[in-house]
Amino acid sequence: MARFGRLLRTGLLGRFVLVLAAVGLIPLIIIPWLVDLTRNSVTDQILITHSVTARTTAARVDAWIRSLRISAQTLASNPYLLQARRDQVAEMIAGLIQADPAIKGALVVNAAGLEVGSATRAGFADVAGPALAAATSAPVSVVPGERLWIRIATQLDEGRGELRILVDGEALSELLMTEEIGRDAIIGLFDTDTRLIASSNVSGDAARFPKALLQAGKGRATSGAARYDEGDPVIAGAHSRVQTAPWFVASIQPATTAERVAERMRRTGLLSVLAAVALTGLFSTLGYVAIIRPIDEIARSQWKVARRRHKGTPSSGNEISQLREAFATIHRQTLDREAIGKLFLSRYLVLDILGTGGMGSVFRGWDPKLERPVAIKTVHMGGKSRASVDIEEQRNVLMREAVTVAKFNHPNIVAIYDVEDAGEAAFLAMEFVDGMSLENYLARVGTVRVEMAVPLVMQISRGLEAAHNAGVIHCDIKPANILLGRDGGFKVTDFGIARSAIRATGNISGTFGTPGYLPPEALDSAAFTPMADLFGVGAVFYELLTGEPPHAGRTAQETLVKTATAPAPSVREKNKSVPPAIDEIILGLLEKNPQARRPASARDLANALEAIADRNGWKWVAPPLLAEESAMSESERETAAIPGSGKLG
């Protein structure tokens, strides 16, 4: 206890408790101020919300009236309206009625007020006739009756008459509905005599709106918001003028909402203060037991060692100073250590992590038995993982990749050396490719010259030829799955979603792969044949020469739609250096119908490109960028180039 008291007075514990106590007391000091501030802020926010709501609602009503008036003015501006026969006028009016379901009837009168022609929607003649025949000077008015009807009058050219339309006013109630304010709020539409025209609430009536608010709206002020203390409860309200009609919108809500928020905050604040006080004591105790006391003991033990080595040197103050000296000693000891721990996966030595994904990680490793570098692709199998429901499928994908690639061997395919399905992790040991993915390379250089692109695509096709001959369809040919070696080689990788072709039918069904590189037939759930991989080759070929995929969209959905519907643009439109023969090959690969212009096989494509490359003397040479990337130690260079997306399987 004596040591505890000393620590509390002068040492780390005292400072620790002081900081925790200050943190716990700050809420106690500022909570009353925060409650008042919050109540006022909530009230102001309610007023702002209702002000915005009133203006927005008035704007919606304005837009609705304006659209109707524009429709009426379009017909009223017809110079032949008064010259046409009565049946022709009725036909013109019928067109206006059919264009807008809200319009139930229309009438044209001449300057003397005599009817020129009229038309009504079926079933509304009894209502529309009297309502339209009555004369009124208001361009927009409410027709008295049990149901809400709006009459809009529009002058004909040069005042030679008038077009009147009758509109169903039920749409006004829908315009007043909004989810921006609380359930206890009401929005009302009033005329200049403060008569309620429509309401957002079936129980809404003019008596529930403060008189001062209605008078402010009647005054035709543009807009405004205020608290109204005319009764209990206090009302927060706002109003806004409707520009196209002699109406205004009023929005109200009981201000007790702010009081409820403040009361909840007071209760929450009190509980927070009590919790802070309790946590201060708890953390002080735990901090002393778990942190400060062990640190004090370490500092004392380190100081005892130093005192034995340096006799006569006095202690340099409290445990904080001793701790500083202890850490300095530990640091010196750490720098003197030479041993470094090493991690093994089965027989493979793990040297470094290269990338991670949703399924697991890719590591740089070493096979001590065969003395060669490897890339180790893993799937974590922890049973308590949040993604544990997908663990079995992830493991199956990894195992399927191993089995798939084991069916064939080709210099343009990343080889699988080993596979293991352990209890906690499944992994593949794969061939290293000393270089980078084509995706990363294009991100650096933008485009590739045609004399480099042709031999590159030719070798990719050779790798796919070997896969297709083994009955394997890659299903996801894209730049991220093509690796460029510093030795000038190419490798196709990531057969995680590859499928074996059903030899009896020559195809499989299902949609796999990446938007932009998927063929149109796969999007229609049609046959997914080896020609689907050739479409992906065409998309990669196109991107090599232009810097972008042929059907690039702003979203994945837009990309898929373009792939299915839009023809691929000519490569020469974006790169004039591309020969017409290469342009034709690429457009053939990207043809929507796989049977139309796509090559019959990857072998045919490779042979065609090889002939062009040989004829022109085009050969792939590892570009300077790959050589620049190799400016590191030999051991550091022995790393695998993995797909830039980090996608596993």
Distance in angstroms (rounded) separating the CA atoms of residues 353 and 413 = 23
Beta strands in 396-505 (DSSP E): 416-421, 425-430, 435-437, 472-473, 482-485, 490-492, 499-500
DSSP lists the bridge partners of residue 404 as none
Amino acid at position 642, single letter: I
Quick count: other Cβ atoms within 10 Å of Cβ 388?
13
Distance in angstroms (rounded) separating the CA atoms of residues 593 and 590 = 9
Distance in angstroms (rounded) separating the CA atoms of residues 559 and 348 = 42
SS3 175: helix
**Cα 134 to Cα 51, 122, 162, 409, distances in angstroms:** 37, 21, 12, 91
Question: Do the bridges between strand 372-380 and strand 361-367 make them parallel or antiparallel, or are there none, so unpaired?
Answer: antiparallel
SS3 364: strand
- Contact of 118 with 137, CB cutoff 8 Å: no
DSSP string, 52-119: HHHHHHHHHHHHHHHHHHHHHHHHHT-TTTTTS-HHHHHHHHHHHHHH-TTEEEEEEEETTS-EEEEE
DSSP lists the bridge partners of residue 361 as 356
DSSP string, 264-330: HHHHHHHHHHHHHHHHHHHHHHHHIIIIIHHHHHHHHHHHHHHHHHSTTPPP-SSHHHHHHHHHHHH
DSSP lists the bridge partners of residue 240 as 223, 249
- Contact of 275 with 267, CB cutoff 8 Å: no
191: left (phi over 0), alpha (psi -120 to 50) or beta: beta
Catalytic residue among 434, 476, 533, 583: 476
- Contact of 249 with 54, CB cutoff 8 Å: yes
**Cα 609 to Cα 447, 579, 616, distances in angstroms:** 19, 13, 11
- Contact of 493 with 643, CB cutoff 8 Å: yes
Angle at which helices 530-546 and 602-616 cross, to 10°: 30
Q: Among candidates 207, 211, 236, which has minimal Cα distance to 224?
A: 236
Sort 645 into a burial class: Cβ within 10 Å, 0-12 / 13-18 / 19+.
Answer: middle
Q: Among candidates 127, 154, 157, 159, which has minimal Cα distance to 143?
A: 127
113: left (phi over 0), alpha (psi -120 to 50) or beta: left
583 among known catalytic residues:
no
Q: Active-site residue numbers? A: 476
